[in-house]
Chain A
Amino acid sequence: MTYPTSKHKMLAFFCSFSLYSLKKRLIPLLLLLSTLLATGSGAAEPIRVASKIDTEGGLLGNLVVYALESHGLPIENKVSMAASNIVRNALVAGEVDLYPDYTGNGAFFSQTPQDSVWKDWKAGYEAIKAYDAQKHQLVWLTPSPANNTWAIAVSGQLAEQQQLKTLDDFARYINNGGQVKLAGSAEFVDSPLALPSFQDSYGFQLAEDQLLVLSGGNTAATIQAAATGINGTNAAMAYGTDGAIAAAGLIVLDDPKGAQAVYAPAPVVRAETLKAYPQIETILTPVFASLDRQTLQKLNEQIQVIGKPAHQVAKAYLLEKGFIKP
């Protein structure tokens, strides 16, 4: 809990500001000195663990926090801290020490979105690991054997009627004039890595009136749209490890041609922090290795569909797998 202390510092700062205007110059100086002294003499610096403010961010962040805490490491909990690009910038700027991100995002971080290296689990991991180590002194630990990539899910009814299992089936259905309306975010529809990549790989084309674009929409909103059939929607953008797909009665279509980049979740930590606490790697590697696609879907479902708090789900999982002791 360092939030209160930073609050006190700000309070001291603003107090000193207003007192200064009253021309009492001694007090603010003393206040300033005392805050400086108070922060200078600390014990070991805690590891500032952050995560993104989405469902899986809350889950992965809490897994990291509990796993490290149970080994006696000092933690400053900043889980579900902020929007994703802000967490990344905070890590690069050294404002947080560790957060879970996805290997596929390396395409954006290194600004090489066309590179096919991101479509391979291992090569993508090696690529971003090398890039961040050299450029930002960050270490990517071993990622999970899961892929939270963009996917297309269709309503269970449609999948059953038309025998849709893979994106090849989906393309065949569309090209035969099948009725489709797909809900997606603006980014999913426009980004060359997402829908256009599916269309190129499988040879289909969705017209404008076959798309329901939810600008700024997330997969929860698109899945909801397909589940309720708003405006005739029967397909949705989804993520591979989404927890709500099954609950909404949707089926994820397989991507046998690997049209999408692989988004494997992995802890990213500042090299400096890892040097101070080398045990981080040995603690987190088995935890992340245990998180395959089904496990992540199940855990996300408990948060999103059943409504359990993320910290509770994370702790129960670590206990069940024996990563932490009760």
Chain B
Amino acid sequence: MNRILLSLTAMLFLAVSLLPFVHFSLNRFIGGEAKSLFSLSSYGYVLLLGISLLLLPAIFWQSLGNYRASFITLGITLGLFAVIFALLSTTSHGLMTTATPIARVTIGSAFWLSFVSLCLILLDSWQRLPRHHFIFISVLFLLFFLLSSAFTQQAFDSLSLIKEYRNHQNRFITALTDHLYLVFIAFLPTAILGLSLGGLAWRYPRVNRSFFALLNLLQTIPSLALFALLMLPLAWLANRYPSLQALGISGIGLAPSVIALVVYTLLPLARNTHTGLGGVPPDTRQAAMAMGMTQRQIFYQVTLPLALPMILSGMRIVIVQLIGLTVVAALIGAGGLGIFVWEGLGQYALDLVLLGALPTLVLAVLADLCLQGLIKLAQPLPSSSLDEPR
């Protein structure tokens, strides 16, 4: 029996049968009327049937064998993905055909929960088949391709979320690139400073206590407050020294955002660098010294490679944090996906909030997955595989 799959299947079943699949509201502002899947489409029962198919691998996992059960699960999951998106498209189109153009169809909790459960099922079978990364990566691409082609065929244009996207299409691309640009620009100084400060703290243990206390203190400042605090001194500097202004330093926008983002993300990287370097066993270094390696060789060929996974996981925290924190930077004029979040909150238009929040989430998850892969690659090989010729 696969308990994880079993409980996820139960969650799927309950979500689809009990929770609203979409909400229908007469305009963008007033709250919607919850609609269950079965009140909208007779194919709702097909979805339930498909979900119950998952019980087969869930219950008979061991007797089917890990390999076969995983592939059966993968196949059913792919089918279910297709069904929930097809149902979303048809039900939303159905609701909008009889409604005024200002009516809105928002995605309900049954859809979101099913989507998340299906993703988790996919991840679960991925972890059970560790040697088949290629298949899962192609499955992800296939899903992405199918979704984007359905999207270009206007399959989801009746959804409020997509209406928000179409209305803000021009600004969306700018917001997305601004967001990525901010993350990138803030990452460079964080990487340089975080690595060197972490290294220094490791090299000179006397400073490290007060240093980390300071970084900890900086983390406790609320982000909007820090952004606002930086504004006045930077504006003053820019007015005083025109050459700084020419470099793009000003009290609003990029400069204060980047500084604040760097201040927030220094701690995880510096700390992980420090821990990673400190975690290298002294006897390993002694062995290297006994082999006649110089200090420089020991650092670059022994200490650093062994500390690398820890340092990379620091970078992973940094990047994911940067992607999230950049949303707040929109409040001080730096742009980014946060503009949709704040505008949406101001208008109580939750789909506009989602237009900012969902891509942020996807970016964070993608960055996280990529860095997890990198960390796996940087992991030192287990000692048994060192004996075999490579």
Which residues on A are within 8 Å of B, measured CB to CB?
3, 6-7, 9-14, 17-18, 21, 32, 35-36, 39-40, 50, 53-55, 58, 78, 80-83, 85-87, 89-90, 93-96, 218, 220-221, 223-224, 227-228, 244, 247-249, 303-309, 312
Contacts and interface: CB of A to CB of B under 8 A. Distances in A.
A14 B262 CA distance: 13
A229 to B, nearest CB: 10
B314 interface: no
Contacts of A53: 330-331, 339, 342-343, 346
Given A11-B185, A36-B243, A54 B346 contact: yes
B248 A9 contact: yes
Contact of B102 (A6, A80, A303, A306): A306
A259 B251 CA distance: 37
Contacts of A221: 348
Nearest to A220: B348
B333 A82 contact: yes
Q: Which 4 A-B pairs have the closest CB atoms?
A: A220-B348, A9-B248, A93-B235, A307-B28
B375 interface: no
Nearest to B334: A82
Interface string B372-390: 0000000000000000000
Given A86-B331, A305-B29, A13 B247 contact: yes
B272 interface: no
Nearest to A2: B248
Contact of A305 (B102, B231, B236): B102
A151 B116 CA distance: 42
28 contacts: A9-B246, A10-B185, A10-B248, A10-B255, A12-B247, A13-B248, A14-B189, A36-B243, A55-B346, A78-B333, A81-B333, A82-B252, A82-B332, A85-B228, A86-B228, A86-B252, A86-B331, A89-B232, A90-B235, A90-B333, A95-B251, A96-B252, A218-B346, A220-B348, A224-B31, A304-B347, A306-B27, A307-B28
B57 interface: no
B335 A35 contact: no
Contacts of A55: 343, 346-347
Contact of B28 (A7, A50, A305): A305
Interface residues of B, number: 52
B251 A80 contact: no
Contacts of B346: 53-55, 218, 220
A308 B255 CA distance: 32
Nearest to B27: A305
Contact of B251 (A35, A90, A304): A90
A303 B102 CA distance: 11
Interface of B: 27-31, 102, 104, 160, 163-164, 167-168, 171, 174, 178, 181, 185, 188-189, 192, 224, 228, 231-232, 235-236, 238-239, 243, 246-248, 250-255, 258, 330-333, 335, 339, 342-343, 345-349
Contact of A307 (B174, B330, B332, B349): B349
A14 B174 CA distance: 22
Contacts of B331: 53, 82-83, 86
A247 B252 contact: no
Nearest to A38: B246
Contact of B250 (A7, A40, A95, A220): A95
B355 to A, nearest CB: 11
A309 to B, nearest CB: 5
Given A53-B331, A95-B235, 20 more contacts: A6-B248, A6-B253, A6-B254, A9-B246, A10-B258, A13-B247, A50-B333, A53-B330, A53-B342, A54-B346, A86-B228, A227-B30, A247-B27, A249-B30, A303-B347, A304-B28, A304-B347, A305-B28, A307-B160, A307-B163
B205 to A, nearest CB: 24
A102 B27 CA distance: 29
Contacts of A13: 247-248
Given A14-B188, A82-B332, A309 B167 contact: yes
Given A53-B330, A305-B102, A306-B102, A89 B348 contact: no
B27 A94 contact: no
Contact of A58 (B163, B250, B343): B343
A32 B246 CA distance: 9
Nearest to A55: B347
Which of A78, A83, A85 has the most B CB atoms < 10 Å from its CB? A83
B258 A304 contact: no
A224 B27 CA distance: 13
A93 B251 contact: yes
Contacts of B232: 89, 93
